[in-house]
Structure 1
Amino acid sequence: MKEIAQVPALTFLAKSRQIYKDPLPFHRENFEKYGNTFKISPKPGLMIHFTCDEKITQHILQKNQKNYHKSSLQTEDLGKYIGHGLLTENGEKWRANRKLIQPAFYKKSINNFMATMDVVVKEELDRIQLDKITDVYAIFNNLAFKVVARSLFDFADIENLEQKISRLQEITEQAQKMLIKELRIPWMKWYFDREWLSGTNSVPHALAMVDEARDILRIIINNRRDSKNEPGDLLDMLLHSTYEDGSHMDDDQLVDEILVLFIAGHETTANALSFAAQLLAHHPETIEKAREDVSKANLDETLMNQLMAMPYLKQCVEETLRLYPPAYVTDRVALEADECEDIVIEKESIWLVSFYEMHRRKDLWGKSRSF
């Protein structure tokens, strides 16, 4: 069996400030030095195995996925901010809720939401000032959040909904920043946990904001029930979904799933669109080819069918996701001892899969860093 190389603790400590700002160079440096799998102990009693090996990844996430659960980084650290929804649950509860929510992401359902997406995109395009330098991330961040919000909630039936949505966006972004600090600099937990020390830069302050977000969502949910309206948005679908025993999702679970949709459906999309814009801008020839795809669209078809008939545009999106995967890492904990590729996977060991590095391996992709 192969021995997994370990990064010295002093090396990790020396790079801690860099890791907080941007962990990817540290990952890349160690993958280049130690190969496709290495391990590191960021604090006493915690050992994390990093891998960009495609076979180990497939084994953990697909072939033997029943033996691997999300770690406490997702179920507890992330869970305290967004609750216990699809992104943070394991096992039977995850399967039950996935089955409940899955119809919302069938092709027919997505097709119904395309009109909403089209309206929001046109509104945001009209706001762009063409004669000045603009941060595209800010544009796409607002765009993605509004698409998620309007897909979830019909704007017509709740008083002051736009203000509520703006506040939800602000809270979501602040909570994400606090979570990143917790995950990247765990040795500062003693500081972030004490509001009297760190003030608005503290975990208690961030969690109080999350509680405010939950209250806003409960108001929206209750107003929808009281209104008796059924606009067919995602909230409507979630309210009418039933488990196998005929029961409905309770309000706490409903709030958790909505928070997951805001987090997972907004920031990842904004990141992907921003990187796509950057890559296209650096390769003007791809913009012309993409425009050719768009110019050939059959306007008599649905918007979904039009997009499906644009192969080059699809390639641009997929290549962006290869080079800059929005969820660039994920982790799992082994429930029982296992082995793969001559590597022993110990029981309860933590494995972090780097999609970012896997997607940039020359032996898999050739010109791996070219668009």
Structure 2
Amino acid sequence: MSENKKYNYPGRLSILRFLKDAEGVRRNPIPFHKRYFEKFGDSFAIRIGFSKHIILSRDNEIAQYILVKNQKNYHKSKFQSIYLSKYLGKGLLTSDGDFWLKQRRLIQPAFHKQKMNQLVDNMNSTITLEIDNLVEDQSINVFPVMSNLAFNVVAKSLFQLSTAENKFERIKFIIEEVQNFLIKEIRLPHKAWWFSLSGQVKKHLKLAEENNNIIREIIEERKSSTEEINDLLNMLLETRYEDTGESMSIEQLIDEIKVLFIAGHETTANALTFTLYLLGKNPEVQQKILNEIVEIESHTENIVEKLQKMTYTNAVLNESMRLYPPAWITDRQNLEDDSLGEFKIKKNTLIGVSFYELHRNPKYWENPDEFIPERFLGEQKKESMQYFYPFGAGPRMCIGTGFAIYEMCLTISQIVKKYVIKSQNYTVQFNPLITLKPVNVEVSFSKR
């Protein structure tokens, strides 16, 4: 049997069509993906060279298979890991295999619900300070505001000590600079020689090293302090590996903190921005959130108890993340040959799952492009959760899910309680980078 007959792939996009669309795909792949899915069905393939294939899918069975059921055969792509690890090191986001599992088991307890409950007072007061500074009664680009809020919540949750505050702005600047350059490297691989020759790679590696040094200083200050502080850094310093009883090395701790900064602030800022846009277009949904908050606050002042009762607010956030998933796509490569549904695929096939398209696939969702928070209430919620991936799925599901939900519920409830939100855009624009980034989303806030 010839090698070609041994394997079979989904409907194939011609390499000529792919090359013709390449520039448009680089700017925004989503409209092109939509067109290809409509032509080929829920999965399509591109052949690179004689035997290498890439698959893109919006099929829930494929998502479940590679992320959950047979996840051991599917690692993150080398392409993703190599680019990210150059600047981020070997944290949870970029590592794989046994090392990743060892780190996940070590860090997971710091994100247990009981631990998160200890952080909510600090989180809530940080959010209150940010919301008190909102510009009122004029249209503003809301993403930078939410980005600043989310960054400060992560920074204060990681490092509660006020002596670190003067370093936060520099960390934020470096993260944004390095991330913007990283996007250029990923989107324009043919310019790698120029980025290297012109000194841009060297410049950004130097910035990444400066970031490492700032975080190292904060850690060293903490280790020499006798003060009892209840933050994520303290929780991570107290963790111990099961087999040796040792703590993380300083270098590994730095890598994990960088991941928490990046994964914990931009995805949340994206989700909050899209949610505010949707609320601004749907005043009746704002009113329902307000009614829920007033009802909850008539029974309790305890923040954790309030969060546990925010059923409708949570449904609104879920529906927002269904329409605009912050982490809009994921990829995997299979270590061995495998059967993927009806397809037989060769090892090292690159498989992308578009959560953006899966979340809007009419096979799973009725009126998929409409904003209907009730999808995530009562009996409907059980059905919806089967096809819902805002934080990924399986063992590699985002470790900070609980943290993010707390932060977003507190932010939305505080804003709705204080302001009437109005959207100034008829439609929303976004840029699908590593995350789904909102573009020029204009919102106004007026006092209730």
Give me the TM-score of the superposition, normalised by structure 1. Answer: 0.93
Deviation at 1:180, TM superposition (A): 1.5
Deviation at 1:300, TM superposition (A): 2.9
CA contact (8 A) 2:93 2:259 kept: yes
For residues 99-132 of structure 1, what are the alpha-carbon distances to aligned partners after superposition, in whole Å with 9 as ceiling and x for unaligned?
1111111111111111111111111111111032
Aligned counterpart, 1:182 = 185
User: What is the RMSD of the two structures over their aligned residues, measured on CA atoms?
Assistant: 1.8
Aligned counterpart, 1:320 = 320
Does 1:71 find its partner at 2:56?
no
Does 1:100 find its partner at 2:106?
yes
Deviation at 1:187, TM superposition (A): 2.2
For residues 123 and 158 of structure 2, the distance between their equivalents in structure 1, rounded to whole angstroms, comes to 12
CA contact (8 A) 1:19 1:184 kept: no
CA contact (8 A) 1:144 1:269 kept: yes
Amino acid at match of 1:217: I
For residues 288 and 307 of structure 2, the distance between their equivalents in structure 1, rounded to whole angstroms, comes to 15
Deviation at 1:41, TM superposition (A): 5.2
Deviation at 1:191, TM superposition (A): 2.2
Deviation at 1:30, TM superposition (A): 1.3
For residues 265-312 of structure 1, what are the alpha-carbon distances to aligned partners after superposition, in whole Å with 9 as ceiling and x for unaligned?
000000000000111111111111111111111463521221221211
Deviation at 1:45, TM superposition (A): 8.2
CA contact (8 A) 1:16 1:185 kept: no
Alignment gaps of 5+ in structure 2: 1-6, 372-448
- Which of 105-114 and 302-311 deviates more? 302-311
Aligned counterpart, 2:248 = 249
CA contact (8 A) 1:20 1:181 kept: no
CA contact (8 A) 1:192 1:203 kept: yes
CA contact (8 A) 1:75 1:84 kept: no
Amino acid at match of 1:257: E
Aligned counterpart, 2:41 = 35
Give me the TM-score of the superposition, normalised by structure 2. Answer: 0.78
CA contact (8 A) 2:160 2:229 kept: yes
Deviation at 1:349, TM superposition (A): 1.1
Partner of 1:225, secondary structure, is: helix
For residues 171 and 370 of structure 1, the distance between their equivalents in structure 2, rounded to whole angstroms, comes to 38
Alignment gaps of 5+ in structure 1: 197-201
Deviation at 1:315, TM superposition (A): 0.7
Amino acid at match of 1:239: L
For residues 205 and 148 of structure 1, the distance between their equivalents in structure 2, rounded to whole angstroms, comes to 26
Kindly report which structure 2 residues correspond to 1:1-150, keeping only aligned pairs within 5 A, or say none.
3-40=9-46, 47-150=53-156
Aligned counterpart, 1:199 = none
Indicate how the Cα distance of structure 1 residues 11 and 203 shifts in structure 2: closer, same or farther if over 3 A, else same.
Answer: farther
Indicate how the Cα distance of structure 1 residues 39 and 237 shifts in structure 2: closer, same or farther if over 3 A, else same.
Answer: same
Deviation at 1:80, TM superposition (A): 1.0
- Which of 37-46 and 142-151 deviates more? 37-46
For residues 28-84 of structure 1, what are the alpha-carbon distances to aligned partners after superposition, in whole Å with 9 as ceiling and x for unaligned?
121112111112357898642111110011010000111111111332111112111
Does 1:206 find its partner at 2:204?
yes
Amino acid at match of 1:353: V
CA contact (8 A) 2:9 2:345 kept: no
| Length, aligned pairs only | 363
For residues 47 and 305 of structure 2, the distance between their equivalents in structure 1, rounded to whole angstroms, comes to 49
Amino acid at match of 2:220: N
For residues 2-39 of structure 1, what are the alpha-carbon distances to aligned partners after superposition, in whole Å with 9 as ceiling and x for unaligned?
54222223323333332222221122121112111112
